[in-house]
Chain A
Amino acid sequence: MRAPSFNPNRPIGGRNQSAGEPTGNRRDILLRLMRIVMKNYKFSFLVVALCIVITSVTTLASTLFTRTLIDDYIVPLTQAAMPDYGPLADVLMKLALILLLGVVCSYLHSVLMINVTQGTMLRLRTDMFRHMQSLPISYFDSHSHGEVMSTYTNDVDTLRQMINQSLPQALNSLITITITLISMVALSVPLTLVSIVMAVVMAFTTTWLGKRSRRHFKQQQQRLADVNGFIEEMMTGQKVVKVFCHEEQAIKQFETINEQLRQSTYEANRIANIVMPVNGNLGHLSYVLIGVVGATLILSGQVELSLGTLVAFLTLNNSFARPIANVSQQINSVLNASVGAERVFRILDQQPEADSGHVTLVNAMEAPDGTLVPMPLRTGLWAWRVPDQPRPRFVKVDGGVQLNMVDFGYTPDKQVLFDIMINAMPDQKIAFVGGTGAGKTTITNLINRFYDIQDGTITIDGINVTSISKPHLRRSLGMVLQETHLFTGSVLDNIRYGRLDATDQDCIEAAKLVNADGFIRRLSDGYRTILSGDGGNLSQGERQLLAIARAAVADPPILILDEATSSIDTHTERLVQQGMDSLMKGRTTFVIAHRLSTVRNADCIIVLERGRIIESGTHDQLLALHGKYYQLYTGHDL
C-alpha cells in the first residue's frame, strides 16, 4: 500500500516522536512501571516480602548457630565423662527444619518473581499491541517497522532483570537497612549521623552517575532500534544488495551504526560499572571515619561511649553500607529498564484514533409496514442504527456516498485535496484517474477515515461519516489494496479474514465468485495450504485473487478497489479482472483505475490533477470534452 509521504524532511528511520515525547523523567517512568507491576501482583509481592524476611532470618540463624554449637554443645560434650549426643541431635533437627523453611521460602520467592516478571512482560507486550491496533495509520507511516519490532523485544526485555532481581534486592536491602538503622540509633546517635551522611553521599553519587549513564542508556536503546530498523530494511532488500554488488557499502553503512551502538553501550556500561566500586569504597571510607571519630570521642572522654559499643557499631555500619552497595550494583539494570519502559510507554501514550461515532451498523429485516427491524443474525440487509432520542432510528444501507467541498492535507500547512465534490449513487461505479500524487488514494483514505478531513463533509446514506463509529464504518466498506498483504495461516484463514464468522462454505463460495477457486484447488493442500512470509509461495496474481476473495466474503455494501499494477500473466489477469467485476456487481464502488476496461465501464469517471477534480463524467462525455481525459486516453498531447 502506498503511504503518502507528507514530510520529505523526516529523518531516516522514522525517529520523529512528535506525538509521544518522553513520558517524564526517570522517577516517573519507574514509578509508573512499579504501579503496573504492583497493580497485578500485590499479593505475590506480599508473599515475596515475607519470604525475603524469613530467608534473611534463616540465614542469620545459620550464622549465629556456630557460637551456640560450640559454647552450648561441643564444649559441654568434651567436658562430659559420658558424652550424650541426644541434645545435639535435637538441636540439629531443629536447625534442619529452620533451614528447610528457608530453602522453601527462597524457592517460592523465585517462582513467584518469575511469574511477576514474565507476567508483567506479557501484559506490557499485549497492552502495547492492543494499543498499537488503535493507532491511526499516520503512526505506521512514520515509524520504521524494525523500530517498532525492537520495542516488543529489546525494550521489553530490559525489564526482565530489573523486575526479577533488582526489585527483590531493593526490598531485601530496605529490610536490612531499616533493621540496622534502628540498632544503630540505639547504640549511638552521633555516630549514626556520620553513617547517614555517608549514605547520603553514596545515594548522591549513585544518582549523579546514574543521570550521566542514563543518557547513554537512552541512546543505546535508540541505536539498538536503529540497528534493528536498518537490518530489517536491508534484509528485506538483501537480493537487491546482491544484484548490485552493494555488499561492501552495506557493510560500511552497518558498521557505522554498529559502532555507534557499541559506543553508547560502552559509555553507558562504563559509567554504570563505576557505581559499585565507588559505593563499596565509600563504605570503607565511612568505616574509617566512624573508627576515627569514635576513637577520638572515646579518648577525649567527651561523650559516653564504650569500646564495645564502638566495635559493635562498626560491624553494624558494614551491614548498613553493604545493602546500599548491593542496590547500586543493580543500577545498570534499573537504568536500562527505565529507558526500555520509556520506549514502551511512548507507544502506550500515543494518541489513539479518535472515534466519537455513535451510529452503528446492524443486520436488519424489513417489517411488513416497511420499517426496519434490527436482527441478531446475518440477513443480507444492513441498516445504520442512529441512536436518536427517544428511540433509535434505522436507516437502510444503500451505499450512496457524498463528498461535499472536502479539503485535506496530511499536515496542516500543506493541503493536498481541494473542494472535492463527489456524488456516488447506490450501486454506481466511480473511477478515479489521474497521475501519481493527484490524490486518488488519498480520497479513498478519507472515506474509510484512515485520515480525517480538514473541511467539508463526507456522508454515507446521508449520515456524516464522523458520526459513524469507525469499526462499523469500515465494516461497511470493503477494500482491496494495490499491494496485497497476506497473513501466516491457511488459505481459508486468509479468506476468512474478511469476515470471521464465515463458514468454510462461505469462504469457498466467495473464492468461486471471484475466480480464485481454481488455483486454490491446485495448491498442495487446497484450501488448507499454509501460507507464510506474506504468501511468498504464491504468484502476484494468485495473491490478488485471494485479496479479492477476502473482500468478497466480507460482502460489504460499498467497495474501494485500488487496482493492482503489478504484472500478472495474461490468463490470471483475466481471472482477476472477472473476479473484480463480479465483486463490484450490486455495490457502490470506488476504484482507482489502471485498466482501460475498468475506466470505460464506470458510471462516473473523476479526473484528478494536483488534488482537484478537473473533469468528471462518463467515458463518452469526457472524450467529447477533448480535455485532460481525452489526452490521457489517447496518450496524445492536444
Chain B
Amino acid sequence: MIKTLLRHIGQYRTAAILTPIFIMLEVVMDVLIPYVTSWLIDDGINARHLPNVYRYGGLMLLMAFVSLAMGILGGRFVAKASTGFAANLRKAMYRNIQRFAFSDIDKYSTSGLVTRMTTDVTNLQNAFQMILRTSIRAPFSLIFSIVMCFVISPRMSLIFVTATVILAVILTVIIKRVSATFTRVFKQYDVLNSAVQENVSAIRVVKAFVREDYENQKFELAARGLYNLYVKAERLMAVNHPVMNMVVYGCIIAISWFGAQFVVDGQLTTGQITSLFTYVMSILMSLMMLSMIFVQITMSAASGKRVVEVINEVPDIVNPEQPDAEIPDGRIDFNHVSFAYKGGSGEYALHDIDLHIQSGETIGVIGGTGSGKSSLINLISRLYDTTRGSVAVGGKDVRTLDLTTLRNCVSVVLQKNVLFSGSILDNLRWGNPDATLQQCQQACRIACADEFIQQMPDGYNTHIEQGGTNVSGGQRQRLCIARALLKQPLVLILDDSTSACDNATDARIREALRRDVPAMTRIIIAQRISSLKDCDRILVLDGGRVNGWGTHENLLKNNKIYQEICAIQDEDGGDFDEPNGRKEDAR
C-alpha cells in the first residue's frame, strides 16, 4: 500500500525531499539560537557589555532571519508536496476508474467513489504534510536525546530502554484496534454519503409523502453510526497520550530514585542528573510529536487502503496487447455464447447463443424483463466479456480488437442513458469531438431531435442540467440517439431508445435511419411490435435463450411468445405522448 502511495508523489518528489532539508536547517537554527541567547545574557547583559549585547543580538536576528527563510521555504515545499500528492492520487484514481470495465463499475457505488476521492484523499494529504513536517524533527531529537543518555550513564539508560519497550507494546496494541475501527469509520462515510444522495435525488417523493421526519430519522441513524464509530476510534487513540505521559513520568521518578543512589555512591554528578531530566523532557516532546504522527497515520491508513484499492483495481477488460484496429464491416457473430455476471448469483444470463448477423442488416430484439436483451448487446462492444463462446465483429473476435476502435464502430444507446451538464452541442460532441454544427444538425435530423432543439431559446447552445433533467424523456432519448449517430459507426444498437417517443416519431426515426444510413448494421431492442416489424430479422429472447429468430411474418406464424405480444398490443392501442415533435413548443 505504502509503495503505491509513495509512487504517486511523482513530480512533487523534489518538493517532498526538499521539505525535510529546509525543516532540518530550521531545526538547527532553533537549536542554536538558545546558545546565542545564553551568550547574550552571560557575556552581554550579565557582563554589562553593551557592544556584546548588540553583537549577539544582531547574530540572533540574523539566525532568526535564516530560520524564517527556511521555515517559509519548508512551508511552501510541504504545501506543494502534500497538495500535489493529493492531486496525483485523485488523478490516479480517476484515471483508473476510466479504465474500469462495466463489471468493475458495478462493483463500486457512486457515493463510495466520491468519498474515496475527497474525504480519504484529504486525510492522506494531511497525514503526508504532517509526516514531512515532523519526520525529521521528532526522530532526530528522540535519537539525539537517547544517545546522550547512554553517554551520560549506560545503566540509567536501561530505564529508557524498558520504558520504550513498554511503550512500543502498548502502542502496537492500540494501533491494531484503532485501525480496525477506522476502516469501519470510512465505510460509514459511504453510508452517510449515500443517505444524502438518496434523499436529495428523491426529494420530490420525500416531500410528496411528507416523509421529512422519517428521512431525518434515517439520516440520524447514519450520522449517529458515524459518531459512535468515530468516538470509539478516537477514544482508543486518546489512551495513547496519557500512557506516554505515564511512562515518561515513571522514568522521572525512577531516575530520581536510582539517580539519587548513584550520586550518593559517586557514580553520577548532580549536573548529569539535571541533564538527564532535560533529555527526558525532550524525549517526551518528541514522543508526543511522534504520537501525533502515529494518530494521523493510523487514521489515514484506512483511507490509504481505500484509495489504493481503487488505484490498483485491475480492470476486468483491458486492451489486447497487439490490438487489431481494422474492422472491415458491420457483421456480427455470436458463436455459442454463454454469459453470467461476475459477482452475480452465478446463474447464466445468456445460454448458448449462436447468431450471425450480416453487415447492414436491421435486427429487432424483443423479450420480457430479464430475458437477456441488454446482456446480449453489451457483449458486442465488449462492455462485458463472454463466459463461454465468442463474439466477433467484422469477422474478428472482439477480444483481439482495439477497444476504442471497436466502441467507435459499435455505437450503443444504453437503456439507462445519461446526458451531462453542458450545452446540447457539448453533449452531442461526445460522439465526435470535431463534429461541426452542420454534422450535429444532420445527426439530430435523423434522430428527430433537430425540430425541438430549434424551438429552444438558445437552440443548440441550450444548457442541459445534470442528468438531462430539463428535457423530457423522449427528447433525452432522441438526443442520445443523435449523439450515438455522430460516431458514424458501422453498427448502431438502440437499447429501448425510443420508448418515450410517440409512435409517429419512432417511425420517423426508423425511416430516417433507413434512408440516411442504410449501410449501418442496426440492432433495435424494443417492446413495441410496431418498432420492430419492419426489421430484416427479429430475435425473440426468453430466459437467456433464443426462442425465435426470423421475419415478422414468420414469427407471427410460428412463435408463441411473439404471437402473444402482438395480440396484447393490438387491443391496447398506442401511446399518447409528445405527439408531433414539430408542433411541440419547447418552453
* 9 A/B residue pairs, CB under 8 Å, sorted by A: A122-B227, A126-B220, A153-B192, A231-B118, A261-B90, A277-B72, A281-B68, A541-B369, A594-B575
B192 touches A152 (CB 8 A): yes
A299 touches B60 (CB 8 A): no
Interchain CB contact under 8 A, B257 and A277: no
In the complex the two chains form, what is the Cα distance from A573 to B527 in whole Å? Answer: 10
Q: Is the CB of B98 within 8 A of A284?
A: no
Is A378 at the interface (CB under 8 A from chain B)? no
Q: Tell me, rounded to whole Å, the shortest Cβ–Cβ distance linking A567 to chain B.
A: 3
What class of interface size applies to chain B in its complex with A?
35 or more
Checking B274, B369, B415 against A569 with a beta-carbon cut-off of 8 angstroms, the contacting residue is B369
Q: Which of B64, B82, B119 contacts A153 (CB 8 A)?
A: B119
**Residue B325 at the chain A interface, CB threshold 8 Å:** no
Q: Within residues 235 to 271 of chain A, which ones have a CB less than 8 A from any CB in chain B? A: 235-247, 249-251, 254-255, 258-259, 261-262, 265-266, 269-270
User: Of B242, B417, B573, which is in contact with the most chain A CB atoms at under 10 Å from its CB?
Assistant: B242
Known: A63-B281, A554-B209. A266 touches B84 (CB 8 A): yes
Which of B64, B408, B422, B569 has its CB near the most chain A CB atoms (within 10 A)? Answer: B64
CA–CA, A190 to B208, complex, Å? 71
In the complex, per-residue mask of B241-267: 1 if CB is within 8 Å of any chain A CB, else 0: 110011001001100110111011000
Given A5-B469, A254-B94, check contact A533 B109 (CB 8 Å).
yes
Q: Are A66 and B274 touching (Cβ within 8 A)?
A: yes
Question: Bound state CA distance, A438 and B370, in angstroms?
Answer: 36
- A373 adjacent to chain B (CB < 8 Å): no
| A-B pair number, CB within 8 angstroms | 490
User: Chain B interface: which of A91-99, A166-174, A398-406?
Assistant: A91-99
**Most central of B110, B264, B281, B430 by chain A CB within 10 Å:** B110
Q: Which B residues touch A477, using CB under 8 A?
A: 208
A488 touches B72 (CB 8 A): no
B98 CB to closest chain A CB, in angstroms? 4
- Chain A CB within 10 Å — which of B90, B199, B579 has the most? B579
CB <8 Å contact, A281 and B579 = no
B78 & A273 in contact (Cβ 8 Å cutoff): yes
Q: Bound complex: CA of A598 vs CA of B70, how far in Å?
A: 77
Please tell me which stretch of B42-50, B140-148, B351-359, B548-556 contacts chain A, meaning at least 4 of its Cβ atoms lie within 8 angstroms of it: B42-50
A462-499 interface code vs B (CB 8 A; 1 in, 0 out): 00000000010011011101100101100000000110
A250 to B97, CA, bound (A): 11
Closest B residue by C-beta to A88:
B260
B231 touches A69 (CB 8 A): no
Most chain B Cβ neighbours within 10 Å, of A66, A498, A593: A66
CB-based nearest B residue for A66? B277
CB distance from B176 to the nearest CB of A (A): 20
Most A CB within 10 A of own CB, among B71, B257, B263, B422: B71
Question: Nearest Cβ distance between residue B249 and chain A, in whole angstroms?
Answer: 4
Give the chain A neighbours of B252 by CB distance below 8 A. 62, 65, 95, 99
Residues 24-68 of chain A, each 1 if its beta carbon lies under 8 Å from chain B, else 0: 000000000000000000000000000000000000001101100
Q: Does A437 make an interface contact (CB < 8 A)?
A: yes
How far, in angstroms, from A132 to B235 measured CA to CA in the complex? 31
**Pairwise interchain contact A500-B214, C-beta atoms closer than 8 A:** yes
CB <8 Å contact, A114 and B110: no
16 further contact pairs, Cβ within 8 A, besides A122-B226, A242-B407: A1-B204, A5-B470, A106-B241, A145-B466, A240-B418, A277-B75, A278-B68, A291-B45, A311-B41, A438-B585, A477-B208, A485-B202, A497-B211, A594-B577, A595-B575, A596-B576
Mark B39-73 against chain A: 1 for CB-CB distance below 8 A, else 0: 01100111010100110010011011101101110
Residues in chain B near residue A505, CB distance under 8 A: none
B192 to chain A, nearest CB (A): 6
Q: Are A635 and B568 in contact (CB-based, < 8 A)? A: no
Query: Which residues from chain A contact B274 at a C-beta distance below 8 Å?
Result: 66, 70
Q: Is the CB of A450 within 8 A of B83?
A: no
Residues of A within 8 A of B60 (CB): 284, 287-288
**CB-nearest residue of chain B relative to A7?**
B463
Contacting A at CB under 8 A, from B95-149, are: 95, 97-102, 105, 109-111, 113-115, 117-119, 122, 125, 129
7 A-B pairs closest in CB distance: A277-B71, A273-B75, A435-B584, A567-B499, A5-B470, A485-B202, A565-B500
Interface residues of B in 449-470 (CB under 8 A from A): 452, 457-458, 462-463, 465-467, 469-470
Known contacts A122-B223, A298-B48: A233-B37 contact under CB 8 Å: no
Known: A274-B72, A436-B472. A296 touches B50 (CB 8 A): yes
* Residues of chain A at interface, number, CB under 8 A: 175
Q: Quick check: B26 and A277 within 8 Å, CB to CB?
A: yes
With a cutoff of 8 Å between Cβ atoms, the chain B residues found around residue A482 in the complex are 473
A239 surroundings in chain B (CB, below 8 A): 102, 105, 383, 414, 416
Q: Which of A103, A255, A610 has the most CB of B within 10 A?
A: A103
Q: In the assembly, what is the distance between CA of A166 and CA of B479, in Å?
A: 53
Residue of A nearest to B59 (CB): A288
Given A236-B110, A262-B86, CB of A152 within 8 Å of CB of B196: yes
Interface of chain A residues 496 through 515 with chain B (CB within 8 A):
497-498, 500
B-side contacts of A237, CB under 8 Å:
418, 420, 467
- Closest-CB distance, A120 to chain B (whole angstroms): 10
Instruction: Tell me whether B71 and A572 are in contact (CB under 8 A).
Output: no
Q: Are B578 and A435 within 8 A (Cβ)?
A: yes
In the complex, residue of chain B having the shortest beta-carbon distance to the beta carbon of A1: B204
Chain A residues, CB < 8 A from B369 = 539, 541-542, 568-569, 572
Report A-chain residues with C-beta under 8 Å of the C-beta of B216: 126, 129-130, 133
- Quick one: closest A residue to B406, CB to CB? A245
Check A106/B245 contact, CB under 8 A, given A122-B227, A235-B110, A436-B586: yes
Picked from A232, A269, A609, A633, the residue with its CB within 8 Å of the CB of B114 is A232
A13 to chain B, nearest CB (A): 7
Are A285 and B64 touching (Cβ within 8 A)? yes
Asked if B481 is an interface residue, CB under 8 A from chain A, the answer is no
B206, B227, B412: the one within 8 Å of A119 (CB): B227
User: Is A626 interfacial (CB-CB < 8 Å)?
Assistant: no
Do residues B53 and A292 form an inter-chain contact, with CB atoms below 8 A? yes
Nearest chain A residue, comparing its CB with the CB of B52: A295
- Bound Cα distance from A598 to B44, whole angstroms: 101
Rounded to whole Å, the gap between the CB of A482 and the closest CB of chain B is 7
Q: Which of the candidate stretches A75-83, A453-461, A581-589 sits at the interface with the other chain?
A: A75-83
Query: In the complex, A295 Cα to B43 Cα: how many Å?
Result: 12
Q: Does A599 contact B (CB under 8 A)?
A: yes
* A97-121 CB contacts (< 8 Å) to partner B: 99-100, 102-104, 106-107, 110-111, 114-115, 117-119, 121
In the assembly, what is the distance between CA of A27 and CA of B466, in Å?
A: 36
B565 at the interface (CB under 8 A from A): yes
Complex interface: chain A residues within 8 A of B263 (CB)? 74, 77-78
- A4 in contact (CB, < 8 A): yes
Query: Is B273 part of the binding interface, using a Cβ–Cβ cutoff of 8 Å?
Result: yes
**Given A74-B263, A265-B86, A539-B369: A154 touches B118 (CB 8 Å cut-off):** yes
A391 within 8 A of B: no
Interface check A137, CB cutoff 8 A: yes
In the complex, what distance in Å separates the CA atom of A475 from the CA atom of B213?
13
